[in-house]
Amino acid sequence: MSQEITIIVMVDVEAALKDNKLDGNIYLIDNLRTDGSEGVGTDHLTTVINGSYWSDGSQATEVITNWLTGALGSLPPTLPRNFHVERTKSINEGLLQTIKNLPARKTTAAAKANAPALLSDVVNKLTKTTFIKDPEGNTRDFGIKPLTVTGDHFEKGKDDPSEQSYLAPVITDITGEAVDKNVFFTCQLGTPVYIKDGWYWCATADTSKVGEYSYTMHITLYKLVNNVYEPVKMTHDAKIKVSTAPQRNGFTGAGMGIIPLPQA
Amino acid sequence: MKKININIAVDTVEALSKETLVNHIYVMDDSTFNSKGQGTGHLETTCQPGQVIHWVATAIDLQTPVCIRNISFLAPHTGEEKPSHPSPATCTMSELDLLTWSGTVPYYMEPGVHYRYRLELQIGNGKLSVMYVDTLSLIYEY
Amino acid sequence: MATAATKKEGSWDSSSVQLNIVTFVDVQKAVAKGSTEGCAYIMDNSPNSRNQGTPHLQTVCKQGQVLNWIIYAMDMDRKPDGTWPPSVRINNIVFLDSEGNDVSMIRVMDEMKILGGPDKIRSKSTPVYYYWAGIVEGSLPVGTYKYRFVLEFDPISPSTQKTYLNLDGQSLEVRNTVVFS
């Protein structure tokens, strides 16, 4: 059983949306730098996989590859998966508490005069949850509030745009030479919608296919437009290199033999 | 005769953090002769001469690299802690990744004797990446 | 080289590492016996879990944490004739009441699902990439939650059928998550 390969796909979402391209705004990191991967941490990654095969040419092991996406400068992915939902609930509870406190404020004339505006602001904030448009163009209720990088309610037009915690980019497909030549056998894991059922894209690599192959990641970024997360589709290329070496027996250095038990 | 698989599950992150494999490896086999210490770092695999044994190491978190670097046997009668086959000179994970660890139990294996072995694992290429335990064994019970 | 004797004190919270609960099953033995007793070993990478390497693993986890359940047959090596040995899959993960008998009325996990699909490299029936994952409910009361695996075993010979066996004894110990609010 081999180690899984993880390729972290970090995107500077703000810059990528501004430039309308991923080149220069994407950082690819895998866990095989010590095995010889090239361009780790840059936008041109070549992941090196140790190919292994038996003497008859058939592959000895499969290697599982995961692509995990992240948005630079956003809420960390180590937070519980339901963080957005829990924060939305908690922010709303705080807002409801404000309403509860309203009668006490009515004691002064100024507070009394201020109450309707405060109430309308609370109602406005309470109802402020987002919608999401999936890559097929269907809009649906997303149920969460846009958040800042510190987990507070992000209000567009009011807060500094750089404070926004962008949704993690979603990989919707892996295509290209590596897939066409059956080096990558990709797995489709449900609808790639963030939080609700968004998991990650993965592939099993056939390590007997020695050589260098390119592949294309189809990446969807989300842009917040009038309370709707609109998908913006982009692509980016990377490479996989399967190196060549036959498997050997650890005891003999060649084929199978006896277990070297000490003789009495 | 049925092949025996010895599976070594490793909590690599804990092993690296605590700098020991003790309590961070879980070893089990599918021998039909009821091995003792299943699921612990003290597995006694019951086998017979002529049987094939295959060792495989797996990281529980699946994200970290772990390879068997060496399996060497300690002298069963003298109690000497000197392994039969010394650990290889420095090798990289990519080299170790190509090694398979299997072999046939030799006919000179004596019944009722614990053949303790040193299992040496390598987790990545760092300074403290190589660790071993001397607590596993093979035994021929007839 | 760090020797077996070296040991550092103190524990370490691996919040950024995925929590995997890994089960190894002696498929041949379980199918022959018609029971999983003495055929399954479960372990995870949560530093405080109890009964590691036994069927009674108690996994320490947090509200909102993602858990992955992975299962392996102890014989996973391709046979000389090119076929693969019989495998085992988790058909269902059922949470039980505190007695460990009946199905729990409490929703313990969110978004429980199987990940992975048939592996085209092998045959349709032997996926290598196949596991369960879910999220511990964010508002789940802290406590111990027992669960059961319903396991599906491949036929061990062409003339036999698939076998379905339960594996009981595992549990989750759910602890409180403190997130900034």
Question: pLDDT for C70-83, tens place per residue?
Answer: 999 999 877 777 77
Contact C89, C151 (CB under 8 A): yes
B-C contacts (CB, under 8 Å): 95
- pLDDT score of A60: 57
- pLDDT score of C178: 61
Residue A85, pLDDT > 90, answer no
Residue type, C180: F
Q: Which fold has domain C19-175?
A: Immunoglobulin-like (2.60.40)
User: Which residues does chain A have within 8 Å of residue C179's beta carbon, measured at their own beta carbons?
Assistant: 79-80, 83, 86-87, 151
Point out the least confidently predicted range of B77-81, B118-122, C16-20: B77-81
A77 touches B at CB < 8 Å? no
User: Which residues does chain A have within 8 Å of residue C128's beta carbon, measured at their own beta carbons?
Assistant: 62, 64, 204
Q: What is the four-CA torsion angle of A92, A95, A96, A97, rounded to 10 degrees? A: 120
- pLDDT score of A53: 61
- Smallest Cα distance from A40 to chain C, Å: 20
- pLDDT score of C94: 93
Q: What percent of chain A has pLDDT over 70?
A: 84
- pLDDT score of A129: 81
Mutation target to probe the B interface, by most B beta carbons within 10 A, among A1, A3, A247 is A3
Q: Which fold has domain A5-74+166-243?
A: Immunoglobulin-like (2.60.40)
- DSSP strand pairing (A62-71 vs A5-11): parallel
User: Which residues does chain A have within 8 Å of residue C115's beta carbon, measured at their own beta carbons?
Assistant: 189, 199
Task: Give the closest residue to C131 by CA, choosing from C89, C85, C84, C163.
Answer: C89
Domain count, chain B: 1
Residue type, B38: Q
B39 touches C at CB < 8 Å? yes
- What is the pLDDT averaged over residues C3-20? 50
A108 touches B at CB < 8 Å? no
**pLDDT tens-digit readout, A240-251:** 998 776 778 889
User: Which residues does chain B have within 8 Å of residue A50's beta carbon, measured at their own beta carbons?
Assistant: 94, 97-98
Residue A47, pLDDT > 80, answer yes
- pLDDT score of A188: 57
Point out the least confidently predicted range of A167-171, A230-234, B132-136: A167-171
Query: Pick the residue with more confidence: A157 or A196?
Result: A157
- What is the pLDDT averaged over residues B47-71? 92
Q: What percent of chain B has pLDDT over 90?
A: 70
Query: Pick the residue with more confidence: B59 or A78?
Result: B59
- pLDDT score of C118: 46
- pLDDT score of A58: 55
Residue of B nearest to A65 (CA): B63
Among C64, C65, C121, beta carbon nearest to A62: C121
Residue of C nearest to B61 (CA): C20
Q: What percent of chain A has pLDDT over 90?
A: 28
pLDDT band at residue A106 using 50, 70 and 90 as cut-offs: low
- pLDDT score of A57: 53
- Smallest Cα distance from C13 to chain A, Å: 12
Among C2, C28, C44, beta carbon nearest to B20: C2
User: Which residues does chain A have within 8 Å of residue B49's beta carbon, measured at their own beta carbons?
Assistant: none
- pLDDT score of C7: 35
Q: Which chains touch C (3 or more CB pairs under 8 A)?
A: A, B
Contact A90, A151 (CB under 8 A): no
User: Which residues does chain C have within 8 Å of residue B43's beta carbon, measured at their own beta carbons?
Assistant: none
Interface of A with C in 160-179 (CB under 8 A): none
Among C8, C26, C77, beta carbon nearest to B18: C8
Flag if B13 and C17 touch (Cβ within 8 Å): yes
3-state DSSP helix/strand/coil % of chain B, to nearest 5: 10, 40, 50
Query: Pick the residue with more confidence: A132 or A51?
Result: A132
Cβ burial, residue C77 (10 Å; 0-12/13-18/19+)? middle
Residue A56, pLDDT > 60, answer no
Flag if A202 and C129 touch (Cβ within 8 Å): yes
Among C7, C28, C41, beta carbon nearest to B38: C41
Residue of C nearest to A200 (CA): C115
Flag if B104 and A259 touch (Cβ within 8 Å): yes
**pLDDT tens-digit readout, A9-28:** 999 999 999 999 999 999 99
Which residues touch A121 (CB under 8 Å, ≥6 apart)? none
**pLDDT tens-digit readout, C101-159:** 888 888 899 877 776 554 444 444 444 456 788 888 888 999 999 999 999 998 888 88
**pLDDT tens-digit readout, B12-47:** 999 999 999 999 999 999 999 989 999 999 999 999
SS (H, E, C) chain A: CCCCEEEEEEECHHHHHHHCCCCCCEEEEECCHHHCCECCCECCCEEEEECCECCCCCECCEEEEEEEEEECCCCCCCCCCCHHHHHHHHHHHHHHHHHHCHHHHCCCHHHHHHHHHHHHHHHHHHCCCCEEECCCCCEEECCCCCEECCCCECCCCCCCHHHECCCCCEEEEEECHHHHCCCEEEECCCCCCCCCCCCCEEEEEECCCCEEEEEEEEEEEEEEECCEEEEEEEEEEEEEEEECCECEECCCCCCCEECCCCCC
Q: Which chains touch A (3 or more CB pairs under 8 A)?
A: B, C
Instruction: Please report, for the domain that includes residue B106, its CATH number.
Output: 2.60.40
Task: Give the closest residue to B103 by CA, choosing from B60, B141, B65, B138.
Answer: B138
**pLDDT tens-digit readout, A145-171:** 899 999 999 987 788 888 899 988 888
User: Which residues does chain C have within 8 Å of residue B60's beta carbon, measured at their own beta carbons?
Assistant: 20, 22, 43-45
Flag if B30 and C28 touch (Cβ within 8 Å): yes
Query: Pick the residue with more confidence: C100 or B122?
Result: B122
- Smallest Cα distance from A62 to chain C, Å: 9
User: Which residues does chain B have within 8 Å of residue C47's beta carbon, measured at their own beta carbons?
Assistant: 14
Instruction: Identify the domain containing residue B87 by its residue range.
Output: 4-139
Residue range(s) occupied by CATH 2.60.40.3910 in chain A: 5-74+166-243
Q: What is the mean pLDDT of chain C?
A: 81
